[in-house]
Structure 1
Amino acid sequence: MSDLVSIVAGVALGLSLAAPPGPMNALIAQESVTRGWRAGFRAGLGAMSADACFFVLAYGGVVAFLRRAPTVQAAMKAIGGLLLCYFAYGAAKSAREGAAHTEAGAGFRKTFLAALTNPMQVIWWLTAGVALLDPGTVSAFGYAFGVTNGALTVFGFFCGILVWITGFPVLLRVAGEAVDTLERVVGYASAVVLCVFGVWFLVDAL
């Protein structure tokens, strides 16, 4: 039973990172509605791969170093802000002109780079993500889980992200088949979200 709790706690923690609205889900949504479920899933894998990198960096103490390096944090915010503004332009252009023909790995690279420089993701790893390194009590969505097996919690964490990046694009594709204008609406909405977060990161960096 305790092993099951550890896995469930990890899944909840993964969903607490992957599910909330933000620039990563805007990019996944744009890829899903313009290029199909596989493209949305690949974009999700890009963000998930960045989280795997963050986990390794956190385990090695690099994330803790970032907590004490405001200049590095500001540089990451500036780079992330510029990337998101650039991706916002691409999303708006794609929504205006229709689905663009891009190579298969473009969505993966976009989310991977954006996630690595996403201050929100870094903050999550400095706070809630610490539970993966020092299991005991994991809190997610307002619930506290007593964790006894850290390895299973890490396994559950990445399973939770995988569930989201699989299910979210599927839901968007199903909705897209029912609503003809969804592709254009999601495209413009993604552009707005990316632009807002991009400008916010840039202002915060300054």
Structure 2
Amino acid sequence: MPAGSRLETDVTLLATTLAGVVFGLALAAPPGPMNAIIAEESVVRGWSAGFWAGLGAMLADVLFFVLALLGVVAVIDHYPAVRPALYLAGGLLMLYFAVGAIGETRAATSFTDSGEVGSKGFRKTFALSLTNPYQIGFWLTVGVGLLESGTLDVFAHVPGVGDLLAGSLLVETGSPALLLGFFGGIAVWVVGYPAALSSAGRRVDALAPVIAALSAAVLAGFGVLFLAMGTMGLF
């Protein structure tokens, strides 16, 4: 291969990988139940607990990706009752975790780095991810398309900014580099988000109960929303 062609290929792969990183970060960063749990674990128990909570959600994404490639996730589309059931199960789990977060609000008077690996947060985010219709829907549509030839409008699928930034970053799909970058972006968030919150928690004692309270509110709000959507889907 000529040196010029090789350089062009390397630049294209790098650009595709970086676009995947941006995509992964953009999808991982918006506020929601997963980030609420990661935040609570980070400011109450330290970085390692927040990291493991983020890893639980990321592992679920990897699992969904594999199942989507095998065609298993697509079974949901053939059984209409499955999606409302997932909304109901996810809503109940979120309300249950919201009650726990309220307890953390009362108990957490300041930052405490317990040094534990945070398996509790890991189980929370993994369980919520498995019952999250939005996450499953992503892998049924956009996620599977990452390895199919075509074009992806990166920001069009990001909650909250899709309408504003749509068309600003287009990338060709069908390259493993894009998928590698995508999960790399999620990994950057899983590492960096808990680190920032843990660092802030060490400096401001009042941050722990405040974040725990906000986490409880987010979980309760999404829990009620999911229950409402699940109930409407059954009728």
Cα gap change, 1:100 to 1:3, in 2 (>3 Å)? closer
How far apart in 2 are the matches of 1:61 and 1:144?
Answer: 29
The number of equivalent residue pairs is 206
Runs of 4+ in 1 over 6 A off after TM superposition: 99-103
How far apart in 2 are the matches of 1:84 and 1:64?
Answer: 25
For residues 1-206 of structure 1, the aligned pairs below 5 Å read: 1-98=11-108, 104-141=118-155, 142=166, 143-147=168-172, 150-206=175-231
How far apart in 2 are the matches of 1:5 and 1:131?
Answer: 18
SS of structure 2 residue aligned to 1:20? coil
**Conservation of the 8 A alpha-carbon contact between 1:3 and 1:148:** no
Superposed displacement of residue 136, structure 1:
2.7
How far apart in 2 are the matches of 1:178 and 1:73?
Answer: 43
How far apart in 2 are the matches of 1:87 and 1:114?
Answer: 10
Alignment gaps of 5+ in structure 1: none
Alignment gaps of 5+ in structure 2: 1-10, 156-165
Once structures 1 and 2 are overlaid, which stretch shifts more, 131-140 or 187-196?
131-140
Post-superposition Cα deviations, 1:87-121, rounded to whole Å, max 9, x if no partner, equal: 00001101111269787311111110111111221
How far apart in 2 are the matches of 1:144 and 1:100?
Answer: 40
SS of structure 2 residue aligned to 1:70? coil
Larger RCO of the pair (alpha carbons < 8 Å, separation 6+): 1
Superposed displacement of residue 150, structure 1:
1.8
Whichever of the two has the greater Rg, that structure is: 2
Structure 2 letter corresponding to 1:190: S
SS of structure 1 residue aligned to 2:169? strand
Q: Cα RMSD between the aligned structures?
A: 2.0
How far apart in 1 are the matches of 2:148 and 2:22?
Answer: 16
Superposed displacement of residue 8, structure 1:
1.5
Once structures 1 and 2 are overlaid, which stretch shifts more, 142-151 or 108-117?
142-151
How far apart in 2 are the matches of 1:48 and 1:110?
Answer: 12
Structure 1 letter corresponding to 2:68: A
**Conservation of the 8 A alpha-carbon contact between 2:91 and 2:223:** yes
Post-superposition Cα deviations, 1:17-37, rounded to whole Å, max 9, x if no partner, equal: 211110000010000001000
Structure 2 letter corresponding to 1:41: F
Which residue is equivalent to 2:6?
none
How far apart in 1 are the matches of 2:221 and 2:14?
Answer: 39
> Under a length normalisation based on structure 2, what TM-score does the superposition of the two structures give?
0.81
Cα gap change, 1:38 to 1:135, in 2 (>3 Å)? farther
How far apart in 2 are the matches of 1:116 and 1:84?
Answer: 12
**Conservation of the 8 A alpha-carbon contact between 2:92 and 2:223:** yes
> Under a length normalisation based on structure 1, what TM-score does the superposition of the two structures give?
0.92
